[in-house]
Structure 1
Amino acid sequence: MQDSEEVREATGRRAGELFQLFRDGRPRTRAQLSVLTGLSRSTIVSRVGDLLDLGLLATVGDAVSSGGRPPSQIALNPRAGVVLGADLGASHGTIALTDLAGDILTRRSEPVAIDTGPAEVLGWLTAVCRSMLTELGRQESDLLGIGIGVPGPVEFPAGRPSNPPIMPGWDGFDIPAWVGREFDVPVLVDNDVNLMALGERAANPRARENLLFVKIGTGIGAGVIAGGRLQRGAQGTAGDIGHISIARASDIECRCGNTGCLEAIASGPAIASALRASGVEVRTGHDVVSLATRGSIPAAQAVRQAGRDIGEVLAGCVSLMNPSLIAVGGSLASAGEHLLAGIREVVYARALPLASEHLTISQSRAGDEAAVLGASSLAIDELLSPRRIDEMLAV
């Protein structure tokens, strides 16, 4: 926790900024807040009182007394509302309701085809949300925010997919406006890999400041967190490593129209195609993982080579951004050490020792919940931002 002029300056202006001190979940007394911020006790009492009335803070017991009546402690009230996190994939949809600390209260995953179009998919999302609220004994008024991940590029400020290759009918579609007609709450939309990076950060203590989340499945992409902030780039395409060219794929055409892309030889479908050409009975990336984990030598070798190819690109990423963690997720990550060994082999051999000395390369700790955790985190960060809280207090 910061304890400096920076904290004093930030919290000296509004209650929304004071509230940010409680985001870490630690209880504090009013006297501790006064010392930490430099604000007078009367100002602290007034602003904390406003936040208690709003329901975002709650008293959580007494601190140890140094004589006289023990002072009460105040902390974030995670039960003040719920947030929806949704992960919309090519053929599935996963939805979770979380509390304001990001802890999952209930979760549901069902087959949903993204190519049926926004009206059908978002209709399913809103219906399931209402069902889950009922299941928890919550009212629609308890829903405070929604985060949604989609499998394609997103113009983040507007929440609109931008030329998504596997999402026919979604290009430029105003997802926040459509969902906002059903639920009058903030709705934020981002690429699924960006949200996986946020979800990994929430689930993994090692991933706070500098993290690269790599999703390997039907496609290959990365979510980049540098300096504690998600990096989307100028047009929201930061982390699109699947279309970086590598030598071994120089004459192979990619679905993007170029040749030589990493995705053309190291994605699940590409590995399956190469195995079929060598006489192995396999249809999908999931089949490849199944064979590799059951001891098939050709499948295991193919997955490890894919890891090497991915490692060739990641070695450059390590030199560029110097992450402390590379977390690997997506369907192909289920191959475990077969994939990770190939990635590590090349990254540790090619990256500079100073950049890789303390680098961890591991399977995602958040796993299948990475995207919904990230979607919830995205919504919570917006909902509990200083601006939003001050707007709530001004009503």
Structure 2
Amino acid sequence: MSPLTVGEKAGLGVPPRGALPSSPGALFQLLRDGVPRTKADLAAETGFARSTIATRVEELLASELVTPAGESTSTGGRPPATFAFNPAARCVLAVDLGGTHARIAVTNLFSEVLAEEEQELAIALGPATVLDAVCATGERLLAQTEMGHEQLIGIGIGLPGPVEFATGRPVSPPIMPGWDGFDVPGYLRQTFDVPILVDNDVNAMALGEHHLIYPDVANMMFVKIGTGIGAGIISDAQLQHGAQGAAGDLGHVAVPDGDQTPCTCGNRGCLEAVASGPAIAAYLRSQGVEVPNLSALLQLVRDGHPEAIQATRGAGRQVGAVLASCVNLLNPSVIVIGGLVSTAGEHFLAGIRETVYSRSLPLATQHLRILGTLTSGRAGMLGASALVTAHTLSAEHVNLLLAGTSAAGQGS
């Protein structure tokens, strides 16, 4: 199959377009939940003739996306065979890039990790150096899992800066020198000839947390607070990008109290300038507390240092003041707080909750939960995987995959 650009996608999570209801890709959507079904079950669910179902199942079996799953309970006579989604049929290369780190994994089609590696990798080294390291690590992990390029169905990558989702190109990223407008999918495709999806790292984290922890929550936010501050928005169970992919840029919303601290974006009083990890550390240094880096700040909080606890809780209140407006506007039922600063413990979360619940409308907070992340720093990587499977396993792209399988004799 020829690789597809992100701009050719029908849209993440959008009901399939361009795929006939009786196509194999459309039938495959019923099987993606992993529940085994017989041909009779599929005929009953779709209303299609059994001959059509039989043909489509055979096509899906040939692609290995569907596999025999044993026999169903018989009510008399020979038990009918069942079929189910085979998540081991293909794999995904999932990449989470931060300011100074990279977490890279090969996952199956259920976003279950088969092999992973975390390494120090400064995004400031530039796109060629960083992406070459990603490719080398990806090749190594594929070899570890005994998967080849022919089993790789796509690559998902989260970047720590604004990304134009339609093209996968970073746009004026503040901590990524040399990345502005760089063709990330095009560069990676020189090594991996597969669909490549690139998004902001916080969007990937939101998708990962939703996919793994809160799949039944239709409206949620993921807020990352570390060197910078950003948010990923899930609305009606869909990740929201906005018109150009800039939705969720929480860090450059002005704090309500009129703080005039200069921000790296050129404005003053942005949330990131007063409540990010470096901002908290800078404030403490101005008060005579020795805080050389973010790790030292977190250690002071864990050790019970009163000024560090007070500053961290105060930063949480600033975050909460901005989130209160988001709660009134978007009405999420869950807000997940992630990023390095969130590991400071309950002091930071307490500051957020205190302000959100006091400033938001009672109806909007009636069932609202504000929680720390439960994915242990893996949300971005898992979200990058889910980004790929949502695209490549859609009805129209499964049909394209099967067409390639039929023409070339193998899936690609």
TM-score using structure 1 length: 0.95
Partner of residue 319, structure 1? 328
Alignment of 1:130-209 (within 5 A): 130-205=139-214, 208-209=217-218
Partner of residue 374, structure 1? 383
Alignment of 1:180-259 (within 5 A): 180-205=189-214, 208-259=217-268
SS state at 1:78 partner: coil
SS state at 1:179 partner: helix
Matched to 1:123, the amino acid is D
C-alpha deviation, 1:167, in angstroms: 0.8
List runs of 5+ in structure 2 lacking aligned partners: 1-14, 405-412
d(CA) in 1 for partners of 2:305, 2:38: 60
Query: Does residue 58 of structure 1 match 2:67?
Result: yes
Matched to 1:220, the amino acid is I
* Runs of 4+ with deviation above 6 angstroms: none
Partner of residue 303, structure 1? 312
The 1:219/1:206 distance shift into structure 2, 3 A limit, reads same
d(CA) in 1 for partners of 2:352, 2:71: 50
Matched to 2:74, the amino acid is S
Q: 1:288 aligns with which of 282, 293, 297?
A: 297
SS state at 2:73 partner: coil
CA contact (8 A) 2:262 2:268 kept: yes
d(CA) in 2 for partners of 1:286, 1:75: 46
SS state at 2:378 partner: helix
The sequence identity of aligned pairs, in percent, is: 51
Partner of residue 8, structure 2? none
Query: Does residue 37 of structure 1 match 2:37?
Result: no
TM-score using structure 2 length: 0.92
SS state at 2:88 partner: helix
Partner of residue 99, structure 1? 108
Query: Does residue 270 of structure 1 match 2:279?
Result: yes
C-alpha deviation, 1:227, in angstroms: 0.6
List runs of 5+ in structure 1 lacking aligned partners: 1-5
d(CA) in 2 for partners of 1:35, 1:255: 59
The CA deviation string for residues 152-175 of structure 1, in whole angstroms up to 9 with x for no partner, is: 111111111111111111111111
Q: Higher helix share goes to which structure?
A: 1
d(CA) in 2 for partners of 1:367, 1:207: 20
C-alpha deviation, 1:247, in angstroms: 3.4
d(CA) in 2 for partners of 1:304, 1:40: 62
Partner of residue 349, structure 1? 358
d(CA) in 1 for partners of 2:204, 2:30: 24
C-alpha deviation, 1:190, in angstroms: 0.5
C-alpha deviation, 1:11, in angstroms: 6.9
The structure, 1 or 2, with the larger RCO (C-alpha pairs under 8 Å, 6+ apart) is 2
SS state at 2:377 partner: helix
d(CA) in 2 for partners of 1:218, 1:168: 16
CA RMSD, Structure 1 to Structure 2 (Å): 1.6
CA contact (8 A) 1:272 1:288 kept: yes
d(CA) in 2 for partners of 1:232, 1:12: 28
Q: 1:86 aligns with which of 83, 88, 95?
A: 95
d(CA) in 2 for partners of 1:213, 1:60: 37
CA contact (8 A) 2:260 2:269 kept: yes
The CA deviation string for residues 112-164 of structure 1, in whole angstroms up to 9 with x for no partner, is: 11111111111100101111111112222221110011111111111111111
Query: Does residue 22 of structure 1 match 2:3?
Result: no
The CA deviation string for residues 164-195 of structure 1, in whole angstroms up to 9 with x for no partner, is: 11111111111111111101111110000000
